[in-house]
C-alpha cells in the first residue's frame, strides 16, 4: 500500500510555480500493477520518482513500508571512476547484502549485461548502451516489492532487447509495477489499474482501460483554444455536442447567457444569447422562423425550439423571475411565456436570489 497525504509538488519557473500535484491525498492499494499516464509535462516521471522515494514533495507525505527499485535502465547513479564490478558491489552493500549474496549478484550482473572485460573497467569508459545494460541487469538482481518502469522495458540491440524484456516480464510475476509509458499496448499488457495526472490532480481508475480512455480524451483536447471550440459550436455541432459536460442558462442584469462546460479540460465557453445569437446560431429551423412575421405564434414556436435545444444538454437554468421590465432581452415582452415553457419542459429551474449566485457558478466552473 502507498498512501499520499496532502501531497504538493511543484517546480519554480519564470512563469511561476508549475504544479505536479496540488494537495493530493489518496491510497494506492496493494497487489496491483499501476500505469501512470498524462500528457507531456504533466509530471509522470517526477511522480514515479516520488512514489519510489527518489524525489520528495514540497509538502505532505508519501508513506509506504514497501521496497522500490530505481527506474529500470537508469544509468545516471553510477560512480564514473569505479568499475562496473565495484559499482555493483557498492549497491549490493547499500541494500544490506552479505558477502555471499554480493558475489551472487556480481556474477548475475556480469553475465546478464554481456559487457565482457568492461565490467572491470571504470564506468566513465562505457558507452551509454553499456551503462544501460549494466543498470538493467543490476535492477533484475534484486527482489523489490515494486519495480519502477519509466518507459524502459528493455535496453540494448534487438537481441538484447528481447532478452531483457523477457527477463523483466518474469520479474514482474513476483513484483508489482509502477509504470510510466506512452505505449498503450504495454500498459494494457502489464498494468491492472491506472493513474492519470491532470493539472495537479490525480485521477485513479480501477481498470487500466478506463485510465487509457481518459488519457486519450485529455490528449485530444490538450492545447485547444476557446475560439476553436466556438467554431465547433457554429460549424460542427455534432462534434461540439459530444464535448459538452454540463450546460447552464443564466440571466444576469437583463441579459441571457449560455455557458458550456467542456469535457476533459478545465475550460468553459460562454455565449451571450441575444436575438442575433438565437436567430442565427442555434439551428436552421429557428433562423427560418425568425425571418417570418414575429407574431405571438411565431415567438412561441421559436421559444419551443430553443427550449428543446436547452433540454438536449440537460441545461441547468438560473433565472431571476421576480424582476420585470428587463432591457435587451430575448423577446422581453414574451419573457413570462418563455419561463412558462421552461417549466413545462421540466428543465431544472432555480430562482436566483441575488447576482452573486452567478458569480458563484462561474467560480465553480473555473475550478472544475
CATH topology classification for 226-367 = Nucleotidyltransferase; domain 5 (3.30.420)
Is 274 exposed, middle or buried, given 0-12, 13-18 or 19+ CB atoms closer than 10 A? Answer: middle
- The phi, psi pair for 214, rounded to 5°, reads -65, -45
For residue 206, the model assigns a pLDDT of 94
Rounded to an integer, the average pLDDT of 111-125 is 93
Indicate if the pLDDT at residue 168 is higher than 80. Answer: yes
Q: Is the dihedral of CA 94, 98, 101, 102 positive or negative?
A: positive
* Residue 124 contacts residue 75 (beta carbons within 8 Å): no
Tens digits of per-residue pLDDT, 218-245?
877 666 677 778 888 888 888 788 778 7
- Provide the β-strand partners of residue 259: 248, 270
For residue 13, the model assigns a pLDDT of 86
- The phi, psi pair for 20, rounded to 5°, reads -90, -45
For residue 98, the model assigns a pLDDT of 93
| Secondary structure letter of residue 69 according to DSSP | P
Indicate if the pLDDT at residue 358 is higher than 50. Answer: no
Q: How far apart are CA 352 and CA 249, in angstroms?
A: 12
Indicate if the pLDDT at residue 344 is higher than 70. Answer: no
Indicate if the pLDDT at residue 71 is higher than 80. Answer: yes
The proportion of the chain whose per-residue pLDDT surpasses 90, expressed as a percent, equals: 32
Tens digits of per-residue pLDDT, 93-109?
988 999 999 999 999 99
Q: How far apart are CA 341 and CA 137, in angstroms?
A: 72
For residue 51, the model assigns a pLDDT of 93
Angle between helices 296-312 and 335-344 (to 10 degrees): 40
Higher pLDDT, 181 or 265: 181
- Provide the β-strand partners of residue 244: 262
First to last CA, the chain: 29
* Residue 258 contacts residue 270 (beta carbons within 8 Å): yes
For residue 294, the model assigns a pLDDT of 61
Rounded to an integer, the average pLDDT of 164-191 is 89
- Read off the pLDDT band of 323 (50, 70, 90): very low
Taken as a whole, the chain contains a residue count of 368
Indicate if the pLDDT at residue 125 is higher than 80. Answer: yes
Average pLDDT of the chain is: 80
Rounded to an integer, the average pLDDT of 237-256 is 77
- The phi, psi pair for 332, rounded to 5°, reads -55, -35
Q: How far apart are CA 52 and CA 69, in angstroms?
A: 7
Tens digits of per-residue pLDDT, 268-291?
777 888 888 888 888 888 888 888
Indicate if the pLDDT at residue 333 is higher than 80. Answer: no
How far is the CA of 45 from the CAs of 10, 102, 268, 292, in angstroms? 13, 30, 30, 61
For residue 265, the model assigns a pLDDT of 63
For residue 60, the model assigns a pLDDT of 95
Identify which of 283, 286, 353, 342 has the alpha carbon closest to the alpha carbon of residue 317.
Answer: 342
Q: How far apart are CA 186 and CA 194, in angstroms?
A: 13
Identify which of 117, 161, 168, 160 has the alpha carbon closest to the alpha carbon of residue 142.
Answer: 168
Indicate if the pLDDT at residue 363 is higher than 60. Answer: no
Domain ranges of the chain: 2-221, 226-367
pTM value is: 0.63
Strands 316-319 and 244-252: parallel
The proportion of the chain whose per-residue pLDDT surpasses 70, expressed as a percent, equals: 80
Strands 59-63 and 16-28: unpaired
CATH number at 2-221: 3.40.50.300
Amino acid at each position: 500500500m502507498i498512501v499520499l497525504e496532502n501531497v504538493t509538488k511543484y517546480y519554480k519557473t519564470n512563469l511561476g510555480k508549475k504544479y505536479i500535484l496540488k494537495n493530493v491525498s489518496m491510497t494506492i492499494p496493494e497487489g496491483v500493477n499501476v500505469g501512470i499516464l498524462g500528457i507531456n509535462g504533466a509530471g509522470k516521471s517526477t511522480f514515479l520518482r516520488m512514489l519510489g522515494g527518489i524525489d520528495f514533495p514540497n509538502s505532505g507525505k508519501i508513506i509506504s513500508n514497501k521496497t522500490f527499485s530505481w527506474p529500470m535502465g537508469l544509468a545516471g547513479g553510477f560512480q564514473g571512476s569505479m568499475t562496473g564490478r565495484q559499482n555493483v558491489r557498492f549497491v549490493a552493500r547499500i541494500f544490506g547484502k552479505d558477502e555471499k549474496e554480493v558475489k551472487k549478484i556480481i556474477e548475475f550482473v556480469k553475465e546478464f549485461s554481456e559487457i565482457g572485460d568492461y565490467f572491470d573497467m571504470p564506468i566513465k569508459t562505457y558507452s551509454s548502451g553499456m551503462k544501460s545494460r549494466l543498470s538493467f541487469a543490476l535492477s533484475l538482481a534484486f527482489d523489490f516489492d515494486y519495480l519502477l518502469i519509466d518507459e524502459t522495458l528493455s535496453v540494448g540491440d534487438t537481441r538484447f532487447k528481447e532478452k531483457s524484456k523477457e527477463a523483466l516480464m518474469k520479474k514482474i510475476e513476483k513484483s508489482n509495477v509502477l509504470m510510466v509509458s506512452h505505449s498503450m499496448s504495454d500498459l494494457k499488457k502489464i498494468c491492472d489499474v491506472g493513474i492519470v495526472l491532470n493539472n495537479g490532480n490525480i485521477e485513479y481508475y480501477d481498470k487500466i482501460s478506463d485510465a487509457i480512455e481518459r488519457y486519450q480524451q485529455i490528449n485530444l483536447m490538450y492545447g485547444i483554444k476557446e475560439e476553436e471550440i466556438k467554431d465547433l459550436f457554429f460549424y460542427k455541432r455534432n462534434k461540439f455536442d459530444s464535448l459538452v459536460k454540463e450546460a447552464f442558462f443564466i440571466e444576469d442584469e437583463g441579459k441571457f447567457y449560455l455557458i458550456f462546460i467542456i469535457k476533459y479540460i478545465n475550460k468553459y465557453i460562454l455565449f451571450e444569447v441575444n436575438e442575433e445569437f438565437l436567430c442565427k446560431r442555434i439551428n436552421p429551423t429557428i433562423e427560418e422562423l425568425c425571418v417570418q412575421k414575429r407574431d405571438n405564434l411565431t415567438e412561441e414556436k421559436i421559444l419551443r425550439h430553443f427550449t428543446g435545444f436547452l433540454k438536449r444538454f440537460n441545461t441547468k437554468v438560473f433565472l431571476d423571475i421576480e424582476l420585470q421590465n428587463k432591457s435587451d432581452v430575448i423577446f422581453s415582452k414574451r419573457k413570462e411565456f418563455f419561463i412558462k415553457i421552461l417549466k413545462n419542459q421540466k428543465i431544472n429551474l432555480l430562482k436566483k436570489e441575488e447576482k452573486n449566485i452567478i458569480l458563484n457558478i462561474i467560480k465553480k466552473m473555473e475550478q472544475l
